[in-house]
Amino acid sequence: MTAPVSIETVSKIFGAFTALDAVSLDIRAGEFIVLLGPSGCGKTTLLSILGGFLSPTSGRVTIGGQDMTYVVPSKRPTTTMFQDYALFPHMRLVDNVGFGLRMRGLARAERDEKALGFLDLVGLKASAGKRPHELSGGQRQRVALARALAVDPDVLLLDEPLGALDLKLRRQMQDELKAIQKRVGTTFVHVTHDQEEAMAIADRIVVMNQGRIEDFGPPSQIYMRPRSLFSAGFMGEVNFVSGRVAAADASSAKVETALGSLALPADNFTASAPKAGDRITLTIRPEHFRADDRAEGPTVTLGEARVAGSAFFGTHYRCHLQPCATDTRALVAHLPQSASVREGEIVPLAVRAADVVALPATGHA
C-alpha cells in the first residue's frame, strides 16, 4: 500500500532550541523522498514526527488524508527503519521480519510464509534461521528493510539506514533500495546527509537547514537550479561570485561582477525575479567552466585566469584558477581529461549563460 503525506506548518521546539520552524511539505503517494541536510538541520526530528516518536509543538501531519499528528507509532500506517537497524538480537531473521505480523495476530504458519517472502525480496531467504549477530552490516540493513516492509506500511521512514556501511556497499545498497521501492510502491521518506546518496535514490529531494526547508525538487533541479545558496553549496562543489543587477527586463538581466559584466536569462534567477540594484551571488559549478570557447551554446566570459594548481581526479582535472582581473579567491574548475593544463598558463573563464544561477546575496558569499 501507499499513501500521500502532508506536513502543515509543523514546528518543534526543545526548550530554547527550534528544531523545526514552520515546515510544510506535500509528499505524493509512492514517491521516494529524501530529507537532506547537515546534522542538526531538523531532518531526523521531522522523520520522528512522521513516525510518531515525537509530537510537534504545533502544526499538523496527515497521512492518506487522516490526521496523524498525535497518533502513537504502533497505530500509524508508517514503519521506521532505524539507523542502527534495531534488529531484535535474540530472534531469528524470520522471527524478526514476522514480528509485526505476530503483533497483528497472524498465526505462525502464515506469518512465517510472509516473512520468508520478504526475506526473499531482500535476498536473504537462505539465512532465515540465523540470528542478527551472524550477519554483515549490509545484510542486517536488508533484514531491517524486510521487517519494516512486512507489515505493509503506507509510508516507510528510513533514518540514515546506509550511514554505517562503507562507501562501496553504500552505493550498492542505494541501487537495491531504489529497486525495491519501485517494486513495492510504498512511499519512502529517507534521511541522509550524503548528497550523492540523495541524488542516487530520490524522486524528489528536500534540502533542510536550521529547521527550515531550503529547497525541494527533483535531484537535477536541486543541482542545476538551486533555490538557495545553502542548497547550491550543499549539493556539491560550487563557486560563488558576488555581483549586482545593473539592469533587468522580463527576459534577461545584466549583472556586474568584479570579473566583468555579463547578461543572464531571467530564468536563472531561481529565487526571485531580478530587479535593478539587487545585490546577488552567482553560483557556478566547477564542471561548467569551459576549457575552450568552442563549447556548444552561447557562452559568457568572465575574463581570463591563471592556473594556480591542478590535480588529476580520474574523471576530470580539478584546477584552481586565479582570475587575472582581481585578487579575489581562486575559482575551482573541473576541466575535461583531454584538457592539457599547466600551472601558470592563462585560460579564459567561459561558461554557458544557462548554467549560471543567480541568487540573492547574503552576508557571506
Partner 1 sequence: MADAGTLRSATALEDADRRKAWGFVAPALLWTLAFFVVPFAFMAAMSLWKREGRDLVRIWNFDNYVRFFSENALFQGLVNSLEITVIVTVISVLLAYPLAWIIAERVPKRLQRLALILAILPFWTSYVVRSYSWLLVLSKNGVINQMFMSIGLISEPLELASTRTATVIGFVHFFVMLLTLTIYSNLIQLSPNYRRAAADLGANAFQTFWHVVLPLTLPGIMTGAFLTFVLCIGDYVTPQILGGNNELVLPQIIMLQLGRRADFPMAAALSIVLMLAVTFAYVACARWLKIERA
Partner 2 sequence: MLRRIFANVLSWTYLVLVYAFIFLPVAVLVLFSFQDGRLPVPPFNGFSPQWYEAVFVDRKLMAALGNSLIVALVSSVISVLLGFLAAYALARYKLPGSALQRGLLIAPMTVSYLIIALGLLSLMNALHIPLSLMTVGIGHVVINLPLCFAIIYASMGDHHINIERAARDLGASDFKVMALVTAPMLMPSILAAFFLSVTFSWDEFIIAFLLSRFDVTLPVEIWSMLRSGLNPKTNAIGSLVFLASVAVLLILELSLFGRTKKS
The residues binding partner 1 (CB under 8 A) are 55-57, 70-72, 74-75
The partner in contact with residue 56, picked from partner 2, partner 1, none with C-beta cut-offs of 5 to 8 angstroms by kind, is partner 1
Phi, psi dihedrals of residue 77, rounded to the nearest 5°: -80, 30
Residue 345 CB, shortest distance to partner 2, in Å, is: 55
Phi, psi dihedrals of residue 40, rounded to the nearest 5°: 90, 5
Among 100, 243, 274, 323, binds partner 2 (CB under 8 A): 100
Cβ atoms of 316 and 337 within 8 Å: the answer is: yes
Would you call 196 exposed, middle or buried from its count of C-beta atoms within 10 A (0-12, 13-18, 19+)? Answer: middle
Helix (H, G, I), strand (E, B) or coil at 313: coil
Rounded to whole angstroms, the Cα distance separating 258 from 275 reads 19
Phi, psi dihedrals of residue 194, rounded to the nearest 5°: -105, 110
The partner in contact with residue 53, picked from partner 1, partner 2, none with C-beta cut-offs of 5 to 8 angstroms by kind, is partner 2
Strand 212-217, strand 239-248: pairing? unpaired
Residue 64 CB, shortest distance to partner 2, in Å, is: 17
CA dihedral 66, 72, 78, 79 (to 10 degrees): 180
- Which of the ranges 6-14, 22-30, 146-154, 196-204 carries the binding residues for partner 2, by CB under 8 A? 146-154
Output 71 or 258, the one with its CB closest to partner 1: 71
Output 91 or 354, the one with its CB closest to partner 2: 91
Report in angstroms the alpha-carbon separations of 134 from 90, 122, 295. 11, 17, 55
Residue 31 CB, shortest distance to partner 1, in Å, is: 26
Residue 89 CB, shortest distance to partner 2, in Å, is: 6
Task: Map residues 32-71 to x or -, x wherever contact with partner 2 holds by CB under 8 A.
Answer: -------------------xxx------------------
The partner in contact with residue 199, picked from partner 1, partner 2, none with C-beta cut-offs of 5 to 8 angstroms by kind, is none
Cβ atoms of 263 and 356 within 8 Å: the answer is: no
- Which of the ranges 2-10, 11-19, 82-90, 325-333 carries the binding residues for partner 2, by CB under 8 A? 82-90
CA atoms within 13 A on the CB side of 250: 0
Residue 133 CB, shortest distance to partner 2, in Å, is: 5
Helix (H, G, I), strand (E, B) or coil at 323: strand
Rounded to whole angstroms, the Cα distance separating 135 from 156 reads 23
Output 55 or 326, the one with its CB closest to partner 1: 55
Under the binding rule (CB under 8 A), the answer on residue 129 touching partner 2 is: no
Cβ atoms of 45 and 213 within 8 Å: the answer is: no
Helix (H, G, I), strand (E, B) or coil at 156: strand
Q: How many chain residues interact with partner 2 (CB under 8 A)? A: 27
Under the binding rule (CB under 8 A), the answer on residue 139 touching partner 2 is: no
Instruction: Record the cell numbers describing residue 269, joined without a space.
Output: 534567477
Residue 338 CB, shortest distance to partner 2, in Å, is: 50
Under the binding rule (CB under 8 A), the answer on residue 89 touching partner 2 is: yes
Among 66, 72, 166, 220, binds partner 2 (CB under 8 A): 72
Among 36, 61, 87, 284, binds partner 2 (CB under 8 A): 87
Under the binding rule (CB under 8 A), the answer on residue 79 touching partner 2 is: yes
Under the binding rule (CB under 8 A), the answer on residue 73 touching partner 2 is: yes
Output 82 or 240, the one with its CB closest to partner 2: 82
Rounded to whole angstroms, the Cα distance separating 355 from 285 reads 8
Cβ atoms of 143 and 87 within 8 Å: the answer is: yes
- With CA atoms as reference, report the closest residue to 160 among 38, 21, 69: 38
The partner in contact with residue 70, picked from partner 2, partner 1, none with C-beta cut-offs of 5 to 8 angstroms by kind, is partner 1
Output 20 or 199, the one with its CB closest to partner 1: 20
The partner in contact with residue 55, picked from partner 2, partner 1, none with C-beta cut-offs of 5 to 8 angstroms by kind, is partner 1
Residue 51 CB, shortest distance to partner 2, in Å, is: 7
Cβ atoms of 159 and 47 within 8 Å: the answer is: yes
